């Protein structure tokens, strides 16, 4: 009995390496920035991670505009554009028939969460920079906190939808962002993995982040005061 074809054994390639690298670094960067937000001792790291997340957003937008078709951001917009017609079908289908197209709902929510997260990075980073540079009063920090909490809400929604889709489809939806492939036979949706570009992006982002970290450390050693939550509390106590 012949075994499975090599392509079927490996699965289908659906996500290329640059997209996976940017996605993974964005997740790690936001998580690290969130965990260090309340610490004056880690303020330099918090600022570095914030700038890195902003850089990654820029890279993702560029790749989403000029990159291969599967990485285009327009695919998310197309999904959102189908929301009105989906809602009309849901309303028009009698509930007793049991045929309402509920299964498309999680996909639309996923698209909404992804687009919302990408849209929030810019105001989050800009308000963080303004707070760090002390360009305004405490209202700017409140704006920064608002977008940070809103981003966290979208991240949690994103993770919840991944868990729901894994149950509905009986597949691991995280696997494509780790390996670039999904199990099963069929043609690859991504012709090339573009690993050299992914390595170049990783090296560039880590290099810029390391430079920013050193710059923040130097600024702190020469009298730069952190502008985080704890700093504001100390000022209030005075």
Gyration radius of the chain over CA positions: 22
SS3 category, 137: coil
**pLDDT tens digits, one per residue of 71-91:** 887 777 777 777 777 677 766
**pLDDT tens digits, one per residue of 185-209:** 778 888 888 999 999 999 999 999 9
Q: Are strands 181-182 and 12-13 parallel, antiparallel or unpaired?
A: antiparallel
Neighbours of 212 (CB within 10 A): 18
Instruction: Read off the pLDDT of each residue in 104-118 and give the average, rounded to a whole number.
Output: 81
pTM (predicted TM-score): 0.77
Give the helix/strand (H/E) hosting 13: strand 12-13
**pLDDT tens digits, one per residue of 138-162:** 788 899 999 999 999 999 988 888 8
> Which residue's structure tokens are 């007793």?
96
Residue 138 CB-density burial (10 A; 0-12 exposed, 13-18 middle, 19+ buried) = exposed
**pLDDT tens digits, one per residue of 8-52:** 557 788 889 999 999 999 999 999 999 998 888 888 999 999 999
Neighbours of 15 (CB within 10 A): 21
Q: Which residues contact 49 (CB under 8 A, 6 or more apart)?
A: 29, 30, 32, 33, 36, 209
């Amino acid at each position: 009995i012949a075994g499975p074809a090599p392509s079927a054994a490996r699965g289908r390639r659906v996500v290329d390496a640059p997209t996976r690298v940017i996605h993974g670094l964005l997740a790690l960067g936001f998580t690290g920035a969130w965990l260090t937000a309340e610490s004056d001792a880690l303020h330099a790291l918090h600022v570095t991670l914030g700038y890195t997340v902003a850089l990654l957003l820029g890279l993702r937008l560029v790749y989403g505009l000029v990159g291969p078709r599967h990485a285009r951001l327009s695919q998310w917009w197309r999904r959102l554009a189908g929301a009105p017609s989906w809602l009309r079908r849901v309303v028009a289908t009698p509930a007793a028939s049991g045929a309402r197209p509920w299964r498309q709902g999680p996909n639309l929510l996923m698209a909404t969460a992804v687009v919302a997260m990408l849209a929030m990075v810019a105001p989050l980073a800009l308000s963080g920079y303004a707070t760090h540079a002390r360009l305004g009063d405490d209202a700017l920090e409140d704006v920064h906190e608002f977008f940070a909490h809103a981003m966290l809400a979208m991240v949690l929604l994103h993770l919840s939808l991944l868990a729901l889709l894994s149950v509905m489809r009986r597949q691991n939806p995280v696997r494509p962002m780790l390996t670039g492939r999904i199990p099963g036979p069929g043609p690859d949706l991504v012709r090339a993995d573009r690993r050299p570009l992914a390595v170049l992006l990783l090296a560039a982002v880590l290099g810029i982040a390391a430079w920013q970290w050193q710059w923040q450390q130097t600024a702190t050693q020469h009298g730069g005061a952190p502008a985080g939550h704890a700093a504001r509390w100390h000022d209030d106590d005075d």
